[in-house]
Amino acid sequence: MSPQSDRPDLLFPSEPSQRAIARELYALVRDRPLISPHGHVDPGMLADDVAFPDPARLIIVPDHYLTRMLLSQGVPPAELGVPSVDGEPVETDGRTIWRRFAGYWHLYRGTPSRLWLEETFANVFGVRTALSPATADEIYDAIAAQLAQPEFRPRALFERFNIETLATTESPLDDLGRHAKLAADGWGGPGGRVLTTFRPDNVVDMEFDGWAGNVEQLGQITGEDTGRYAGYLAALRKRREAFIAAGATSTDHGHPTALTLRLSEAEAATLYGRGLRGEATPEDAEAFRAHMLVEFAKMSIEDGLVMQLHPGAVRNHNRWLYARHGRDVGGDIPQATEYLHALTPLLDAYGNDPRLRLVVYTLDEYTFTRELAPLAGGYAALYLGAPWWFLDSPEVLRRFREAVTETAGFYNTAGFVDDTRAFCSIPVRHDVSRRIDAGFLARLVAEDRLPLDEAAETIVDLAYHLPKKVFKIGSSIK
């Protein structure tokens, strides 16, 4: 698939000399396979390969970028079919949801959501009609008709999207059965097309609902005594091995802050016991999370898994939304995130060890030049993850390059990560990133700061070689 053929100059600088260079650079990566080393696609979707539901349930209902914008204008998520946790009835008719959404299309002007949807409509479903209340039904019907065709099954789309590797994200409590099915079908396993990622938050974060029960379950799965801290560590190691066997090349850690801490084994065991007895304070929970990041860095050096850190989200800030609709529906908000002092204990321990690869993300762009670029440009273990979530947008992707390149260069960044659960939006998200990088490099060339041949090599590295290398995709992780 050659995406965006309708809008060949989408997102390129309009100044003609820069645009000409951007086109030339973009042409080098437009058709490169997609490397998606981190995201939240449901592996069951690809394991079972069943048809997608109706357009509203596929595209609107699960996309909290979309539903939160309507909430911000007073439209309750229930009217868009977002499932409730309290039994409150929600809209269930796909077409009604779709029509309702179309009435608010102007709200998305200038947002990446708008761009992602338009390009998904055009390039995935061949729908080039502009969305409006008048065209809502026509577009709904066109997409619904396509979704019924076998070439719109997940695996067929995966191939059409030219995805080379896609990593999903699972808890250590996941039995990895869906990944086993994928491996059996020739789609998963080490070096396969679909990989898993080890995300242990629900057994690490004592403030996670049901943590103690999760930890107990972790013990049952692994046959380790997670009633003791040593058994807990052993259980985590065992699950990491199981994830590696299922194809994982990386871990992921979503924490409120970037705090790291080196506790003695005795101190860690004490905190752990307090957690199990339900006596942990918020400070205990934070200290334990911080300590475990250093433990996980140590494990990464041992077993080779690349480590990812996603700090800075205040989860469920919108309490009304959380009470009615639960987690991950748009109620999280970023907070100021300090990296320098927070990461010091981990960096003191392993920051100069090239065997560790720690990819750090941020929701706080006001750390780009002050902390993140200097750290990534000065520690062997540290890489900068692509702008994430609220920052995964054309303007910020551009500002990211403008801010971090001068101190960290291109090669201490980790390549684009779509980080999405919206499977159909994966091509456009990567395409946007490639276009922005083409535009940024075009400016360097146009301002005589980089020769064209080096810009050409760089854009291919950024789009393809760098994420494969940093995330150890397609190679042995050890």
Residues 311-330 close enough to bind its own copies by CB under 8 A: 314, 317-321, 330
* Of 48-56, 80-88, 405-413, 465-473: span binding its own copies (CB under 8 A): 405-413
Instruction: Report the residue number, 195 or 456, with the smaller CB distance to its own copies.
Output: 456
* β-strand partners of 166: 36, 194
Question: Mask: binding to its own copies, 173-212, rule CB under 8 A, as x and -?
Answer: ----------------------------------------
Which residues are CB-neighbours of 9 under 8 A, at least 6 positions away? 19, 23
Q: Are 247 and 190 in contact (CB under 8 A)?
A: yes
Instruction: Report the residue number, 265 or 348, with the smaller CB distance to its own copies.
Output: 348
CB of 356 to its own copies, least distance (A): 10
Q: Which of residues 350-379 bind its own copies (CB under 8 A)?
A: 351-352, 354, 363-366, 369-371, 373-379
**By the rule CB under 8 A, 380 interacts with its own copies:** yes
Pick the binder of its own copies from 5, 27, 31, 72 (CB under 8 A).
72
CB of 409 to its own copies, least distance (A): 5
How far is Cα 371 from Cα 352, in angstroms, rounded to an integer?
A: 17
Pick the binder of its own copies from 233, 444, 456, 473 (CB under 8 A).
444
Pick the binder of its own copies from 61, 136, 183, 382 (CB under 8 A).
382
Burial of 447 (0-12, 13-18, 19+ CB in 10 A): exposed
CB of 363 to its own copies, least distance (A): 7
Instruction: Report the residue number, 258 or 382, with the smaller CB distance to its own copies.
Output: 382
User: Which long-range contacts (C-beta less than 8 Å, at least 24 apart) are formed by 139-148?
Assistant: 139/55, 139/98, 139/102, 140/55, 140/56, 140/94, 140/95, 140/98, 140/99, 143/55, 143/58, 143/59, 144/54, 144/55, 147/51, 147/52, 147/53, 147/54, 147/55, 147/58, 148/51
Measured from the Cβ of residue 445, the count of other Cβ atoms closer than 10 Å reads: 22
**By the rule CB under 8 A, 443 interacts with its own copies:** yes
How far is Cα 22 from Cα 435, in angstroms, rounded to an integer?
A: 8
**By the rule CB under 8 A, 472 interacts with its own copies:** no
Pick the binder of its own copies from 47, 66, 69, 102 (CB under 8 A).
69
Instruction: Report the residue number, 423 or 440, with the smaller CB distance to its own copies.
Output: 440
How far is Cα 233 from Cα 261, in angstroms, rounded to an integer?
A: 16
Q: Which of residues 38-57 bind its own copies (CB under 8 A)?
A: none
CB of 461 to its own copies, least distance (A): 8
Which residues are CB-neighbours of 458 under 8 A, at least 6 positions away? 410, 441, 450
Instruction: Report the residue number, 215 or 261, with the smaller CB distance to its own copies.
Output: 261
* Of 195-203, 212-220, 267-275, 445-453: span binding its own copies (CB under 8 A): 445-453
Strands (DSSP E) along 157-264, which ranges?
A: 163-167, 194-195, 250-255
**By the rule CB under 8 A, 98 interacts with its own copies:** no
Instruction: Report the residue number, 205 or 392, with the smaller CB distance to its own copies.
Output: 392
* Of 270-278, 290-298, 417-425, 449-457: span binding its own copies (CB under 8 A): 449-457
Q: Phi/psi class of residue 100: alpha, beta or left (left: φ > 0; alpha: ψ in -120 to 50)?
A: alpha
**For the chain, what is the radius of gyration of the CA atoms?**
22
Instruction: Report the residue number, 175 or 406, with the smaller CB distance to its own copies.
Output: 406
Pick the binder of its own copies from 14, 87, 209, 283 (CB under 8 A).
14
User: Scanning the structure block, which residue is given the tokens 């939304």?
Assistant: 321
Q: Are 24 and 446 in contact (CB under 8 A)?
A: no
**By the rule CB under 8 A, 264 interacts with its own copies:** no
* Half-sphere exposure (Cβ direction) of 308: Cα atoms closer than 13 Å: 31
